[in-house]
Amino acid sequence: LNAASLADVLRPGAQGGSARAYRAAYHAAVVTGVAAVVAETQAEIAADWGSLVDAAVWLVVALFAVDLALRLGVARRIGPAGAWRSPMTMVDAVAAIGVPAALLAGLAGPEAHLLGLVWLLKLGRYAGGLTTLGRVVRNAAEPLVSVLIGFVIVLMAAATLAYVLEGKAQPEAFGSIPRAMWWAIVTLTTTGYGDVTPHSPLGRLLGGVVMVCGIAVFGLWAGILASGFVDEMRRRDFLRNWDLVAKAPLFRDLGADVIAEIARLLRRREFGAGAVVVRRGDAGSAMYFLMAGEVEVRLKPQPVRLNDGAFFGEMALISGAPRNATVVATRPTLLLELDVADFRALAGRTPPLMEAIYAAARDRGLVTPEAAPD
């Protein structure tokens, strides 16, 4: 077992069978461990199943100790210097050592087991979306903080006004600004427990304004995060597409600006073996560039196979006629999809590319008066 192949098993996103099996075991261990610790806090479960919970916890601790040792070994042998000093290694270390250390320190079993909730953090390693979320929050930090400051201003103003308006009548709930803050935050977050409510007309008016402000604040927050996510996804797709487009023979000779424009327009689509990409007789809504894999054009009498670098689906876009053949992926296939509207927009600007696409369509038997680029 050498370090490089081990590293490949441990790497997030690795595709091999052993990598998948390892990830499955890893996630199963997290789920088992956390479920055991959570269940143990129910007295009846602790009483009836205590030894099973103990066994599960120890098993998970042992698995994560092995996981830690493998990762440290790989980092030391082939990682860059200091690779082991990542936050994730800290999580791995606490996951392996936390519970035994707490037991050694003299905590009782169930309390020591609570440290096992750190296992949840190990899920972060293989959750690509969490990394994206982290980046989105970092990128949008400035607007998020601005909204947070607005939130604090409204909170303080609401608590102060509630104290002024309701403090005399309800000293328990509104007798000081800190007391009034409970009502303010429950109302501003639109949680509205209703345990404390203003009674005076002005107090109620204030309540209404605070509720509306609360919705505005969370709406803004959600909007900032959502648009950050979209930006991030777009950037990622753009980079991945750029790579593919710049390497494809059909696009290689175009200028960098045109490649960038095409990379922005194309959408990645993956198809499994046997999946139908376009169906004969359907209206044409997009054409496809084949980046990896193979498709079969179901023509009679002889089907035609297309490989990397080929494209298809152009005929219906050019002629406006229905698809003239069904096209099926014969193995896992990566396509880049160009929408019909974008195809039209590109047509005027990339004469060599369009000439190649029109020429192929004519070779494939397209006969319409419009079948020539103008």
The binding site for ligand CMP (CB under 6 A) comprises 278, 284, 297, 299, 304, 312-316, 323-325, 327, 364
Q: How far apart are CA 289 and CA 313, in angstroms?
A: 9
- By beta-carbon proximity to ligand CMP, the closer residue of 37 and 316 is 316
The nearest distance, CB 306 to ligand CMP, in angstroms, is 6
Give CA–CA dist 85/102, Å, rounded.
23
Closest CB to ligand CMP among residues 57, 315 = 315
Whether the Cβ atoms of residue 70 and residue 6 lie closer than 8 Å to each other: yes
CA–CA distance, 68 with 74 (Å, rounded to integer): 10
Q: Which two tokens stand for residue 278?
A: 């376009």
Q: How far apart are CA 298 and CA 364, in angstroms?
A: 13
CB of 348 to ligand CMP, least distance (A): 20
Residue 252: CB minimum distance to ligand CMP, A: 21
User: Which residue do the tokens 């604090």 mark?
Assistant: 152
Distances (CA, A) of 70 to 10, 13, 85: 9, 18, 15
DSSP output for 25-86: HHHHHHHHHHHHHHHHTSHHHHHHHHHHHHHHHHHHHHHHHHHHHHHHHHHHHHSPTTGGGS
Q: Which is nearer to ligand CMP, 293 or 313 (CB)?
A: 313
Give the residue among 27, 29, 10 at the shortest CA–CA distance from 19. 10
Listing DSSP states for 199-231 in one string gives: -SHHHHHHHHHHHHHHHHHHHHHHHHHHHHHHH
| Shortest distance (Å) from residue 318 CB to ligand CMP | 8
Smaller CB separation from ligand CMP, 61 or 316? 316
Q: With respect to ligand CMP, which residue has the nearer C-beta, 164 or 299?
A: 299
Judged by beta carbon, residue 113 or residue 323, the one nearer ligand CMP is 323
Whole-number Cα distances in Å, 338 to 269, 290, 331, 335:
10, 11, 21, 10
Closer to ligand CMP at the Cβ: 36 or 338?
338
8 A C-beta contact, residue 251 and residue 336: no
The single residue listed with the structure tokens 């009846």 is 44
Task: Give whichever of 84 and 311 is closer to ligand CMP, judged by the CB atom.
Answer: 311
CA atoms of 39 and 42, how far apart (whole Å): 6
| Contact criterion met (CB below 8 Å) for 333 and 270 | yes
Task: Name the residue number minimizing CB distance to ligand CMP.
Answer: 316
**CB 351, min distance to ligand CMP, A:** 20
Q: For residue 36, what are its two tokens?
A: 């055991």
CB of 258 to ligand CMP, least distance (A): 22
CB of 312 to ligand CMP, least distance (A): 3
In the complex with ligand CMP, which residue's Cβ is closer, 284 or 293? 284
Closer CB to ligand CMP, residue 173 or residue 297? 297
Nearest distance from C-beta of residue 275 to ligand CMP, angstroms:
15
Q: Pairing relation of β-strands 311-312 and 267-271?
A: unpaired
Give strand ranges (E) for the chain.
267-271, 276-278, 286-292, 295-298, 304-306, 311-312, 326-329, 333-339
Closest distance between ligand CMP and the C-beta of residue 314, in Å? 5
- In the complex, minimum distance from the CB of residue 277 to ligand CMP, in angstroms, rounded to a whole number: 9
